Structure 1
């Protein structure tokens, strides 16, 4: 059974021949938080692009709507099923943070469904693999201190969004840990743009992804956003302009 990713299409403000854009949000976020509040949906629809939004398992208004495994492998297969049902491929894809990882894998495994790829805040290794679930669960249930600095940082970010369900988020992390991110094993062939804030400590390995793309003969570009970090790069107007320009070329 395929996952229910609640694919929904937001129509462009005017008729256009441009491809639809699939937006994949980050961890502890949602389509609403990552893309609507940051005005990405408005940006694309005002420029003649239909937008496809999804809520990943463990996220959105009904975080437990999916049974079984929530691994990235199953997620990307569900995205493919959804796009084929909507008869919308190939599409342009924009993913942020965890969404960037999923975008890379989706473009690599389903090249017939992806025209171009933009990755925001990407890394060459999945940072959630280092997340200390036992410490995070003990903190949430008993108030015990989180000793791992990275785990504490992720939990604090997730707590900033009151709608987040931590049991659901932890279940997704378990699935991610069981399905490692190995970008070198399958590299996208579509033109790819890598974007991150120059203060983003999670994106320091982004140039490694660029090398993988170059070695594979994939057309690629890299762009650093001045003064931005992992938390606020997604709100950057410059990021929006760069992404649309890349898709439009």
Structure 2
């Protein structure tokens, strides 16, 4: 996979297809392959005539692993994503994030709105504003000596996922420890790009997608039937909804 350098650190990305560019930003503890390639998103979007770009966020995948929480946070990772567009000399793109990637995409839209043609907020509703709960059980689970030492259900799920993806658990813990800068309701209201908010109807992590859409001037909601936070990402309803949403800008 190609890489680019930012502030002395290396970041991995994929760049496939031709046409209007779309930048994909994955969720916490995932990576560009697990979030986008394996569920078929890259193939679907390339076949739709798009240039598909996906970044490994810092601390994830094949990108640089920082172990200091001060090196993380959605605003910092938004700067990484925008730097990738600079590297590729892309002035404007559609953005699609999932979970943590949605928060990162939102900060991209706030930092450089002229570069964001449209947005897909996957796996995150009003949780963009409120956050997604207590991070401590996840941090403890990531740093535990063994998975068998973890009793918290959510913590076990994230620890198992981190092991499955071969992630650097110290880097993920540092990412989770970082100060999670809130996005205020009035900031969300400033995001003017057309936005599709796609959330599974059984997603207990995302928060209410309709409450988030109500804050935004040009947002619509796509409910992904009978899917939770982990499964919704690859759902065919999600894919078809995104293709129909993007078609209006082509």
- Sort the TM-score into its range (normalised by shorter chain): 0.7 to 0.9
When you count strand as a share of all residues, which structure comes out higher?
Answer: 2
Structure 2: state its 5+ residue gaps: 1-6
Please state whether the residue corresponding to 2:144 is helix, strand or coil.
helix
1:166 maps to: 169
In the TM superposition, what is the alpha-carbon distance from 1:93 to its structure 2 partner?
0.6
The C-alpha deviation readout for 1:109-136, integer Å capped at 9, x for no partner, is 2101100000111023322653336632
1:241 maps to: 240
2:14 maps to: 8
Q: For the structure 1 residues 4 and 186, does the alpha-carbon distance in structure 2 shift closer, same or farther, using more than 3 Å as the test?
A: farther
The C-alpha deviation readout for 1:56-78, integer Å capped at 9, x for no partner, is 11111355279871222211112
Question: Is the contact between residue 138 and residue 154 of structure 2 (CA under 8 Å) also seen in structure 1?
Answer: no
1:226 maps to: 225
CA distance in 1, matches of 2:116, 2:144: 40
The C-alpha deviation readout for 1:134-180, integer Å capped at 9, x for no partner, is 63255336954444x43333333333x241221111111122xx132
Q: Pairwise CA RMSD of aligned residues? A: 2.4
Stretches of 4+ moved more than 4 A in 1? 65-68
Please state whether the residue corresponding to 2:120 is helix, strand or coil.
strand
In the TM superposition, what is the alpha-carbon distance from 1:82 to its structure 2 partner?
2.0
Count of matched residue pairs: 236
Q: For the structure 1 residues 137 and 158, does the alpha-carbon distance in structure 2 shift closer, same or farther, using more than 3 Å as the test?
A: closer
CA distance in 2, matches of 1:138, 1:71: 19
2:26 maps to: 25
Query: TM-score, normalized by length of structure 1?
Result: 0.84
1:205 maps to: 208
Question: Is the contact between residue 109 and residue 115 of structure 2 (CA under 8 Å) also seen in structure 1?
Answer: yes
Query: TM-score, normalized by length of structure 2?
Result: 0.84
CA distance in 1, matches of 2:32, 2:99: 13
In the TM superposition, what is the alpha-carbon distance from 1:184 to its structure 2 partner?
1.9
